[in-house]
Structure 1
Amino acid sequence: MQTFLAGLASPSRILLWLALIVCAGGVGQLLHRLAVPAGLFLGPMLVAIAFGVSGAQLRVHRHVFRLSQGCVGLMVAHSVTWTVLASLAQSWHVMLLATALTVLLSALVGLGTVRYGGISATTAAWGTAPGAASAMVSMAEENGADARVVATMQYVRVVCVVMIGALVSHLLGATSGAGVAASTGASLPGPQVGQLLLSLGVVVLGVALGTKLPAGALLVPLVLGAVLQLSGLLLITLPAWLLACAYGAIGCYIGLRFDRPTVRYVWRRLPSMIAGAVVLIILCAGCAWLLARATGSDFLSMYLATSPGGLDAMAIIAVETHADVGLVLAMQTLRLFGVIVTGAYCARQIIRFTRA
């Protein structure tokens, strides 16, 4: 600890941290203003990669990473309302089938990525899992995968999903605002000191309780926040600047772990990552079409509900295109839990099949 504090307090170290914070924040805000998907995460991650490759030797503490995940989990909990639960109760069988199909298709794409993309089985298993990207990165790291490559695969898919989702919405004649692509920029109700402190307390408590669980730093605050919100005991309040800091901390935590060999590895395999993401999106769109025909739902709502992107991104597109927001949030939330619960098992099966 003394060595860590001594290194942190050195003048050169302080200057490096200040430079990283300023550059990461500036680039993140710029990408967010330009409506780049996951800009508040991607900007800091790209800046941190540059620092890591240049030999800065900075590291974001794991506790900061976990607390940031807790903030993301609480943000997702804000979307869990009685309307979403009612939609889930009415169409639970359809949503369960769609979740199972999406997980199965992601496993098949993972196998293809290993076979044709030259990516290791462990990394491909977590990189193609259609869940919350930060949760998949955390679980990948806990299971021995390369979190840096997993993060790249996850957020390459997030970008592809949001871009294609906006394009599909446009082609189907739905109206959408300029901010559709700003997936990580959604902030929760304005800061009220009491509720803000309670929200932060839920984050800290959830992260502490979730230490021993897979993706517990994200999942436990999500569950706690949803229960307290539904019971009326908590109005989840996370100001935009706090969410921006959380995404920035996650981006820097991942980006600073890149070095030159890792960047070369990712660059050579970037086409296969994009191809895998597009194939998964097309397969999920095919399932959405079949489910929409079978249930009588509109295709756009079912497409957004089954799309393998982030819950927040799909929620924004659903709201701005007047799709069935309850269906989208319910199915995306169910899949989030499904992937977190079954992620380790699916990863083991992909590894077993590729070795066989």
Structure 2
Amino acid sequence: MTALPVTVKWLLLACLSLALGAALEYAGLPAALLLGPMIAAILMGTNGARLALPKMPYMAAQALIGCLIAQSLDKAILQRFMQEWPIFLGSVLSVILLSSLIGYIMARRQVLPGTTAVWGTSAGAASAMVVMADAYGADARLVAFMQYLRVVCVASTAAIMAAFVFQVPGGHPPAFVLFPPVDWPDLALTILAVAIFAMIGNRLRINAGTMIGPMVGMALLNGTGLLTIELPEWLLALAYTMVGWRIGLAFTGRLLRHAAKALPRVFLSIVILIGFGGILAALLTHFLGIDPLTAYLATSPGGLDSVAIIAASTKVDMSFVMALQTVRFLLILALGPSISRFIANRIKT
């Protein structure tokens, strides 16, 4: 794989992504257009492909995913949060507390060198945690490994659960149309507005600004009726592919070998977080009567864009899922680095 020309590697990755995505879509697996490219990229990356997705395509994909989220961020989201804020805050803060405790334990037991585990176990804001870890002297490669492994596990588990555990008996998934009729003026306005809000978010130098900018800006425009969001499936498929490649290509063979000794305990920490999310979902279903799949996707620990893709392809209460996931994402961005620094300081003292 290493000796192949770069152009051939990208072509091979594209073909493999298309084949796996089509196979998973044919099998009826939610988020197939994300998982297919992600699996293909992992296979390529761990076999010496040495490819890295350029910054601009990933930023564009983030912006489109932000726009996808914005379609469900209407007044119902705010109303839902105001009505049920104790549930949202309780669920999110409990996940943050558990992930922080796991990171503290792993760091104290020297499962990974230094404070790497503290940054790696944060249940969200993966890119921010990698940057903070590097600035604080931790091994950013291992933090990236832990964070992206969590995203892969959460996205894959959520997709599998949606497809095989919560599937309604006898139900049929909606027909998949890659090239539906398009309102071209609305599409042009959507792309223009998304690009502007992405640039604003990037200029503000906030974490994930290229996603948060379009998410907030397009939600305002869509909610006030000033703009109708038009996102054809083929455009979203390109965005899903970029997200999948970004995650998958981070898994190089060297990185996997470097983390081999810690892998069982890292994986166990991820399983604990996923399991805890499942417990929260069961509690929401039992005590509040929330649909099981809605509750599971809402409490899934990480991967806002991945969960948005899965939720968009299943019959769930999208406003509840995205409200809880958005609160978790924003709180991780606000509190995660401070909590990690606090724990890291306590470990060093």
Native 8 Å contact 1:83 1:326 kept in 2:
yes
Distance 2:30 2:186 in 1: 29
**1:265 aligns to what?**
258
TM-fit CA distance, 1:266: 4.7
Native 8 Å contact 2:37 2:244 kept in 1:
yes
- The 5 A counterparts of 1:1-356 are 12-36=5-29, 38-114=31-107, 118-119=111-112, 124-125=117-118, 127-131=120-124, 136-143=125-132, 144=134, 145-146=140-141, 147-164=144-161, 169=166, 177=171, 191-211=182-202, 212-266=205-259, 268-288=261-281, 296-298=288-290, 300=292, 302-309=295-302, 310=304, 311-312=307-308, 315=311, 319=315, 325-356=318-349
TM-fit CA distance, 1:228: 1.0
SS at match of 1:238: coil
In structure 1, stretches of 5+ residues that fail to align are 1-10
Distance 2:110 2:221 in 1: 44
Distance 1:124 1:189 in 2: 45
Distance 1:176 1:304 in 2: 22
14-23 or 205-214: which moved more? Answer: 14-23
TM-score where L is the length of structure 2: 0.78
TM-fit CA distance, 1:222: 0.8
| 1:205 maps to amino acid | I
Native 8 Å contact 2:35 2:156 kept in 1:
no
SS at match of 1:31: helix
SS at match of 2:341: helix
Native 8 Å contact 1:117 1:272 kept in 2:
no
TM-fit CA distance, 1:289: 5.3
Distance 1:14 1:118, change over 3 A: same
TM-fit CA distance, 1:53: 4.2
TM-fit CA distance, 1:345: 2.0
Native 8 Å contact 2:20 2:37 kept in 1:
yes
In structure 2, stretches of 5+ residues that fail to align are 135-139
Distance 1:54 1:233, change over 3 A: same
Cα RMSD (Å)? 3.6
Q: How many equivalent pairs are there?
A: 331
| 2:308 maps to amino acid | D
| 1:100 maps to amino acid | L
TM-fit CA distance, 1:281: 3.1
Distance 1:167 1:29, change over 3 A: closer
Native 8 Å contact 1:78 1:236 kept in 2:
yes
TM-score where L is the length of structure 1: 0.76
Distance 1:269 1:39, change over 3 A: farther
Native 8 Å contact 2:29 2:160 kept in 1:
no
| 2:342 maps to amino acid | Q
Distance 1:110 1:38 in 2: 29
Distance 1:114 1:188 in 2: 49
Distance 2:81 2:180 in 1: 25
SS at match of 1:210: helix
TM-fit CA distance, 1:230: 0.6
Distance 1:314 1:259 in 2: 26
Offset from partner CA, 1:1-49 (integer Å, 9 cap, x none): xxxxxxxxxx944333322222223223323433446443343233334
Offset from partner CA, 1:287-322 (integer Å, 9 cap, x none): 4555667x74447355553332544267358725xx
Offset from partner CA, 1:37-70 (integer Å, 9 cap, x none): 6443343233334434444443321122111111
Distance 2:117 2:25 in 1: 28
Offset from partner CA, 1:204-257 (integer Å, 9 cap, x none): 222222221111121111111111111111222222222221222233234444
TM-fit CA distance, 1:330: 2.2
Native 8 Å contact 1:95 1:334 kept in 2:
yes
Distance 2:66 2:329 in 1: 11
